[in-house]
Structure 1
Amino acid sequence: MQIDEIKNYWMLLSERSTADYNTSGPAIDRIIRQYGASGRYYHNTGHLSDLICFQQQYAPMIMDNDSMIYAIYFHDLIYRVTRKDNELKSAEEAAAYLTKIGYPEDKTQKVYRFILATAGHQNPLADPDLDFLLDFDLHILGALPDRYDAYTKQIRKEFDIYPGFMYRRGRKRVLQHFLAQPGIYRTSIFREKYELKARENLERELESL
């Protein structure tokens, strides 16, 4: 999905949500700038595009697609490897925008909580839509080995301010966290398609560190 397609999909969403084009236009321009910022080697417009494509593919299984799309667009809006509140700040920006355009309060809060949940990839809401969002966000873990290896190089570049020993220590914690879960993926369809490959990828990377 190209940048123009990402923008057009946003504008279609905006047409369903608000008549305030003076707000929705600048908002998507800011979103594209954020995801296209320097230093984003994985959490960039390519990642955003992947999640949008997953939403489109699984739309018939999602109950509230518009809220899902908003959560996708905003979920990595703020991303700096030196801070620990990226998800919180992204969620706050989403809520501020949705409040400004008059999006329903209950759905605004849903988007806010969905984005917060991407920090630990847990679903305290027991919301099936959130299960899909979390699985979309982790799809790369179950990629083919070559793609997974490219992803690990992109993540390392994002964290290049840290020396190797610090990066390896932190990365090991992340990998061990996912491997310790009963299931990396939350939906049955993603578990069937990606769970085994994801565990193989994570174990292979862990052995290499």
Structure 2
Amino acid sequence: MKKLFQGQVRRYTDDAALPDSFWVEIETKYSGKRRYYHNLHHLENLLEQLSEVKLSIKDWDVTLFALFYHDLVYNPARRDNEEKSARMAGERLKSINFPKDGVDKCRNMILATKGHADASDNDTNLFTDADLSILGCAHDQYMEYARQVREEYHIYPDMLYKPGRKKVLQYFLSMDRIFKTNHFYDKFEAQARENLSIELKSL
């Protein structure tokens, strides 16, 4: 991933120091000691999922930058992580003279991960679907993800965490479709609903 990201940055800037400094920032943020799920492994999985639909993505460069920056800021105690991540992504992309419409789209894609609602832009739907792909993985893997999320929210006791987690699970289960695009719907929808329902009953 390091080479991929740095190669992307070099396409837009002649400043030899920026690819390294940008990557160090990303690696440091995603390697925080409390990053049990929202870490570099999450980025690797997201890249794997998006690579499967690369030919359907119109703006691959924008999507890649959204991938690397979408969880750059992650503090379970705050509700503005997406906004802060989007802002930092915009600042970094502007500094390498990335096209303005691309900067705006990247920020919007990151903001879309807050609610994972259906968007008018297909790239955004593919991106947010890939971000949710963990919901539809094998049940054992899903429960490990659920455990990792609980670790990230360790500051909250069960009496506070469980109601909040239930609300999240019910939000997804109430959707007509969790996955907006046919590719991810066909691949993950049924298993995701099963996983979410089982976790909900266990809380």
Pairwise same-fold verdict (TM > 0.5): yes
Query: Displacement of 1:25 after TM fit?
Result: 1.4
**Corresponding residue for residue 197 of structure 1:** 191
Write the mapping of 1:52-131 to structure 2, written as runs, cut at 5 A.
52-124=47-119, 126-131=120-125
Distance in 2, matches of 1:25 and 1:82, equals 30
The runs of at least 4 consecutive aligned structure 1 residues that moved more than 3 Å come to none
Letter in 2 for 1:177: Y
* Partner SS, residue 94 of structure 2: helix
Which sections of structure 1, spanning at least 5 residues, go unmatched?
A: 1-5
TM-superposed CA distance for 1:23, in Å, is 1.6
Deviations 1:11-70 (A, max 9, x none): 121232222222221011100000000111000110011112222222111111000000
1:173 counterpart residue number: 167
Contact 1:55 1:69 in 2 (8 A): no
Whichever residue aligns with residue 194 of structure 1, its letter is: F
Q: Distance in 2 between matches of 1:21 and 1:71?
A: 22
Matches within 5 A, 1:139-178: 139-178=133-172
Query: TM-score, normalising length from structure 1?
Result: 0.95
Query: TM-score under structure 2 normalisation?
Result: 0.97
Structure 2 match to 1:184: 178
Tell me the secondary structure at the aligned position of residue 184 of structure 1.
coil
Percent of paired sites with the same residue: 40
Task: Report Cα offsets for 1:56-105 as digits up to 9, x if no partner.
Answer: 22211111100000000000000000011000000000000011110000
Aligned length: 203
Q: 1:112-169 CA distances to partner (integer Å, 9 max, x unpaired)?
A: 1110111111244x00000110011000000101100100110110011111111110
In structure 2, the partner of 1:7 is 2
Q: Please, what is the CA RMSD of the aligned residues?
A: 0.9
Matched position secondary structure for 2:11: helix
1:110 to partner: Cα distance: 0.4
Match of 2:40 in 1: 45
In structure 2, what is the Cα distance between the partners aligned to 1:52 and 1:193?
A: 16
Whole-angstrom distance in 2 between the partners of 1:190 and 1:44 = 22
Q: Is the partner of 1:72 in helix, strand or coil?
A: helix
Structure 1, 139-148 or 49-58: larger mean CA deviation: 49-58
Matches of 1:74 and 1:40, distance apart in 2: 15
